[in-house]
Amino acid sequence: MVELAALADRVRACTTCALAATRTNAVPGEGSPTARVLFVGEGPGYNEDRQGRPFVGAAGSFLNQMLASIGLSREDVYIANMVKCRPPENRDPLPEELAACAHFLDEQIALIAPRVIVPLGRHALSRWFPGGSISRLRAKARRVEGRLIFPLYHPAAALHNGGLRATIEADFRALGDLLASLGAPEPSTPQRATTHPPPTEPPAEAHRPSTTHLPPTEPPAEADQPPPGGSQLPMF
């Protein structure tokens, strides 16, 4: 898609924050421009900075494995980060760096229009759930700003804490179930307008009033029906 390529060029040329001075390569993101799922990491690490590509180190190998476990490849999804340039020594991105870079992710979301966004880890989580806890919010779909947000632990968490591996595997299976419940890929014709009953479950955390909690164990929706627990919010 021309617009995504142009956006990537702007990311590579960006000098808005101090990370530009220490990067080897900016890492705009990669994947399908029409992906149904957008994964959002924290920021490039050493290997990503060298190659200019997201999730190409050890955490990336685990992410690839997890994608394969639910029948997806990197080409099926889009992979981006909160900040597009590596923070030195892999420190956490600073608030001003996150703020300076946020519009790039917003633009990626608008262009790709994914049905599901998967924040990986607490930094990405905070884009949709400021102050939220990844351990409490993980592996449940909630609607924020009209899109389904399905947070997962960052893949690197499994590398640092082997005990989390089984949890992350199970959480990816739940993501696969959610995607299956959404049915066939987006039709090319506009969706017909339908009214839906209000959600029966309150949001788990009241950060955003429009958030809807969608249990991943809901039965599959019909291909042309709204997702389980669909609300009066716009379809995604």
What residues line the site for ligand URA (CB under 6 A)?
A: 41-45, 48, 54-55, 59, 81
- Residue written as token pair 């220490």: 22
Q: Is 77 or 182 the residue whose CB approaches ligand URA more closely?
A: 77
Q: Given CA atoms 162, 163, 166, 167 in this order, what sign does their dihedral have?
A: negative
Helix and strand counts by DSSP (H, E) for the chain: 9, 7
Shortest gap between Cβ of 18 and ligand URA (angstroms)?
Answer: 19
Min. distance of Cβ 56 from ligand URA in angstroms?
7
Q: How far is CA 74 from CA 39, 54, 60, 68, in A?
A: 10, 11, 10, 9
- Please state the closest distance from residue 40 (CB atom) to ligand URA, in A: 8
| Nearer to ligand URA among residue 138 and residue 143 (C-beta) | 138
C-beta of 145: minimal distance to ligand URA in Å? 22
d(C-alpha 142, C-alpha 228), whole Å:
11
Quickly list DSSP for 1-56: -HHHHHHHHHHHH--SSTHHHH-SS----EE-TT-SEEEEES---HHHHHHT-SS-
Question: 79 by DSSP, 3-state: which?
Answer: strand
Per the listing, tokens 């029966």 go with: 200
d(CA 220, CA 197): 17
In the complex, the smallest distance separating the C-beta of residue 61 from ligand URA, rounded to whole angstroms, is 11
Strand spans (E) along 71-195: 78-81, 116-119, 141-144, 147-149
Rounded least distance, CB 194 to ligand URA, Å: 37
| Tokens, residue 127 | 């884009």
Q: Following CA atoms 225, 227, 230, 236 in sequence, which dihedral angle do they give, to the nearest 10 degrees? A: -90
CB of 19 to ligand URA, least distance (A): 13
> 100 or 182, CB closer to ligand URA?
100
